[in-house]
Amino acid sequence: MSGRKAELVEQVARIRDLDLRLLDRVSREALTLDRNWMVEYARWQSGNWQTMSLYNDSGDPSDVAIRDCEARETTVLEHMPATRELLRSFGLKYMWVRIARLPANTFLWEHSDYRDLADLERHRLHIPLHTNRSATLTLGGARVHLGYGSLWRLVPTNRHGACNLSGPDRLHIIMDCYADDTFRDLTSNLTLDDNDIQWLPEATDGEISAHLDEAVALGKLGYHQAAEHSLLKLFYQYSMPEGMGYDLVIRAYEMMGEHARAEQWRLEKKVKLCLA
Ligand SMILES: [Fe+2]
């Protein structure tokens, strides 16, 4: 395994295959959910990434802002017997479990997670329930597609982003759990196929300056959000140093003479990348 692939496996990896008959039932249950979807973490996304809780401390599926707790099943699992069976089968000590819907043309901007939580060892697992090849995580200079049929691990304290370019909706179960022997046994064999990975090229100076000029032109016309998104989306197109998308937004606003907006984005960068 190459050095950069080994580094990537440290950040995201396939744990093992799941029972497809059970997973198909879980997927059908998820696709018929029509209530309790919540838009949380709005600053972290381009819009409309929705979640619902399956395990938390209140039992309320619309309570979706994660925190350390002793989690129990939420009321929605009463109507999702296959999902309940699957989640119980791992024997993990859950902190929180959500189901997340990422619609077409939606982006979770570059960020790191767990910033405000206690200093405990916790881990994040993903189960794709409905997905497509344009739905990927971006991290470690690559885009990685989490395929249906497997259980995956993501280390979300590393910077990462997610996108679903073409649709249909990407539906994932996201399980935050505390470290214990069960977790360690479950994750003892991590792999990543080359087919799961799309390595991203580095941008040339000319490409960066062309994107910057386009964003400045949009901003001068008053399309501030379009300008910001055009630069933040470069994170999914190029392998870029940490926070470069945010730095480009700041530079664009400085070029426009919009210093207050530039200052606001300096703060956004610190918050999203846990630099504050
Ligand atoms: Fe995240």
Q: Please provide the CATH number assigned to the domain covering 3-199.
A: 2.60.120.330
* Cα of 239 from ligand 1 centre, angstroms: 18
* Cα of 25 from ligand 1 centre, angstroms: 26
* Cα of 23 from ligand 1 centre, angstroms: 23
User: Which residues neighbour 158 within 8 Å (Cβ) at sequence distance 6 or greater?
Assistant: 11, 112, 139, 140
For ligand 1, an ion, list residues with CB under 5 A: 113, 156
* Cα of 244 from ligand 1 centre, angstroms: 18
* Cα of 111 from ligand 1 centre, angstroms: 6
* Cα of 162 from ligand 1 centre, angstroms: 8
* Residue pair 175/151 in contact by the 8 Å Cβ criterion: no
* Cα of 59 from ligand 1 centre, angstroms: 23
pLDDT of residue 115: 83
CA gap 215, 219 in Å, rounded: 6
* Cα of 10 from ligand 1 centre, angstroms: 16
CA gap 19, 41 in Å, rounded: 32
* Cα of 114 from ligand 1 centre, angstroms: 9
* Cα of 112 from ligand 1 centre, angstroms: 6
CA proximity to 245, closest of 163, 153, 183: 163
Q: How far is CA 120 from the centre of its chain?
A: 21
Q: For every one of its 276 residues, what pLDDT tens digit does the chain have, with 9 covering 90 and above?
A: 889 999 999 999 999 999 999 999 999 999 999 989 999 988 899 989 999 999 999 999 999 999 999 999 999 999 999 999 999 999 999 999 999 999 999 999 999 999 889 889 999 999 999 999 999 999 999 999 999 999 999 999 999 999 999 999 999 999 999 999 999 999 999 999 999 999 999 999 999 999 999 999 999 999 999 999 999 999 999 999 999 999 999 999 999 999 999 999 999 999 999 887
**Helix and strand numbers, DSSP H then E, in the chain:** 8, 12
Whether the link from the prior residue into 168 is cis, omega within 30° of 0, is yes
* Cα of 159 from ligand 1 centre, angstroms: 8
* Residue pair 66/52 in contact by the 8 Å Cβ criterion: no
* Cα of 156 from ligand 1 centre, angstroms: 6
pLDDT of residue 68: 96
Please return the burial class of 7, using the count of CB atoms within 10 Å of its CB with bins 0-12, 13-18 and 19+: middle
User: Which residues neighbour 3 within 8 Å (Cβ) at sequence distance 6 or greater?
Assistant: none
* Cα of 27 from ligand 1 centre, angstroms: 22
* Cα of 45 from ligand 1 centre, angstroms: 10
Sketch the domain layout of the chain as residue ranges: 3-199, 205-272
CA gap 150, 128 in Å, rounded: 7
* Residue pair 129/173 in contact by the 8 Å Cβ criterion: yes
CA gap 172, 228 in Å, rounded: 27
* Cα of 134 from ligand 1 centre, angstroms: 18
* Cα of 100 from ligand 1 centre, angstroms: 11
* Cα of 44 from ligand 1 centre, angstroms: 9
